[in-house]
Structure 1
């Protein structure tokens, strides 16, 4: 039997094993999409209660994908924003029940081997963009609309995505939009902490709308198999009636040798 067939069998076994571990919790688990990331299978899923309501929506990230994430060599260069090769490594739709009843639509996973500016984030890390709009809409984010998000869209505990009076063009990223940072990322108003980060939870905007929630987590942090438990803050009024997650967890699952990145505690908002 060829090595490729053995690899495929191993990948299927790992995927089924991860679902089996998830199924041991309360509620029914519904599988979403799967994709390969650095030789490992990443998958989306949801956990539903007995009435079919979403309790959790998340992804399974095998540790092997974290371990094999390629670090840049001497001659390598980071992706050019908006360039022909600029894009995420993985895109995963959530199950239909999640897309229909909650804010979450799909995940776009970016591997930032070089990190990216500002200086605090110049360390290898993963950007997990959990979008509340379809992929087709994300593809239209071209940073031609530089209208800053209204200040009332700033979630509680966050700094404005575009500081008042700043040049909005300096803060917009194609295929993403504007990024709002938690106040905990700052050592003083307008001044990021000087040391490299471990993790943070970003709020994203474009077209004057709240579009995504984004955990950024370093490879170094994930390799230590540490857990995260963070509150998710979103604008009080977002112009859309749906269920919004209020908690995010990144939990290392020893039985599956994988991380479960999970949004939960969905609350009604508009």
Structure 2
């Protein structure tokens, strides 16, 4: 099964006898919550999931979007109708970051049939897909997390991987170089990490580049089959999109969920600046 699904494919599958469980994970960093946008119009059958409270734990020393408490996550998924034997499709407003976070969490927690709507809600409406303001009736799901299906990095693991494999920094290049830091304590990057902004994974319309193009892009960074690869960003959200892009390219990768927000919170950890890994 592919890790992404097109709008036309979703339209066809939604009309099937057993359509996929559909999760709306719209989120904008620093912006308004996604629920009002969901209430104003969403894909028919979609259930809203809140990234800040259901796909992440409280911000703190472990980062701005650490892993959620498993009991909270499990309850949210069951309330949204997620079951182990039924396909799940997640989407956001089009950036792909929040949807990829939901995809990664479900996959990490053991659900094997999860896909992201390529291009998100924008792709759905561009293809003529309808929207509704009606919230669907939801039969409670039975999903029980079994963590560990995808590789997870902590700070020490990310530092070690940067030395023995390839650690990609998914943030904007200027943040990697340490020229600006709009959110976290200090600017720069984890020593040894390579700059690989998520913006280069998608085309102008927000859909992923073809698998061959993505594979070529990551291969030029040394991220290819047989090499240990990890990804981090500011808080573990946009990096999930890069892990998804790597999956589309056929390259498995670990996610450092704490990311720069955790790394930079500890003044004893080294920081590199400039365009080179350091």
Higher helix share: 2
TM-score > 0.5 by shorter chain: no
Higher strand share: 1
| TM-score computed with the length of structure 1 as normaliser | 0.29
